[in-house]
Structure 1
Amino acid sequence: MTDMRRMKHRIVTGFQRHVANPLNRKRSAQQLLETTGRVSGVPRVVPVGGRRTGNEFWFVSEFGDRSDYVRNIRADNRVRVRLRGEWLPGTAHLLPDDDPVRRLSSLPRGNSAAVRVMGTDLLTIRVDLDG
């Protein structure tokens, strides 16, 4: 990874961790992903932006394998997604062969634009929702 990408990752994740994510977690309309911490075993909640299609929820990670929630999914792919205020259990699948830029074109525009601009290692994720 180049120094510029490393610096971009550090700046963006610092802002998200300390400013954006705490604020977004409080918004009732915000979609959230809950994973289990791979080391701590404690639930971890992060804001995401995606779209539900039937019993699937699709979104794109900005930093792929460098995202803590992606590493948590690798360790335990049982997750929960909060959509419209309701928590839904599911199974997350990392899809490295999917075209994340193309996928973003089918997801909400605002979040997709931010992911394209801020992201360095895009990765598509699909959550198969239970029920």
Structure 2
Amino acid sequence: MPRLADLRFRAATTFQRRVGNPILRRLPLQTVLETTGRVSGLPRRTPLGGRRVGDSFWLVSEFGERSQYVRNIKVDPRVRVRIRGRWHTGTAQLLPDDDPVARLRGLPRFNSLGVRAFGTDLLTVRVELDG
């Protein structure tokens, strides 16, 4: 990975882990993705942006397969998503053939700007929601 991209990754993930995520995941209307930790087996909650379309929830990972939640999905795709304060169970699917830049155009603007600004390896993720 080029040096600038690696610096952006380290800076963004350090800020998210220590400042942003602990605050955002507590906000009742913040969208949160819950995965199962691939080593610990414990629930891991990540605040993020995305959009529900029918029975699917779409998001774009800004660091692709380097994102911890993507690494967790690869081991166990069963997830929960909190949308507008309500939890939904589902199965996540990584879509490397989808165009993540085009996908971001249909997702919430504020989050999409951040993903584009800091992202180094965009990856589309779709969660098929149960019932």
TM-score normalised per structure 1: 0.99
SS of the aligned residue for 2:89 comes to strand
Residue 40 of structure 1 corresponds to: 40
Look up the equivalent residue of 1:4 and give its one-letter code: L
What SS does the aligned partner of 2:106 have? coil
Paired residue for 1:72? Answer: 72
Name the CA distance, whole Å, in 2 between partners of 1:89 and 1:18: 27
| Counterpart for residue 29 of structure 2 | 29
**Structure 1 moving runs of 4+ over 6 Å:** none
1:115 correspondence with 2:118:
no
1:58 paired residue number: 58
Partner-residue secondary structure (3-state), 1:26: coil
User: How far apart, CA to CA, are the structure 1 residues paired with 2:28 and 2:40?
Assistant: 27
Shift in Å, 1:26: 1.1
- Shift in Å at residue 93 of structure 1? 0.3
Code of the residue aligned with 1:66 in structure 2: it is: R
Number of corresponding residues: 131
SS in 1 for 2:103: helix
| Unmatched runs of 5 consecutive residues or more in structure 1 | none
In 2, the alpha carbon distance for the partners of 1:4 and 1:53 equals: 35
Which residue of 1 is the match for residue 128 of structure 2? 128
Cα RMSD, aligned residues only: 0.4
CA distance in 2, matches of 1:9, 1:130: 33
Equivalent residue number for residue 17 of structure 2: 17
Alpha-carbon deviation of 1:48? 1.0
Distance 2:64 2:27 in 1: 25
Question: Aligned equivalents of 1:2 and 1:54: distance in 2?
Answer: 38
SS at match of 1:81: strand
The separation in 2 between residues aligned to 1:90 and 1:98, in whole angstroms, is: 20
Q: Which residue of 1 aligns with 2:106?
A: 106
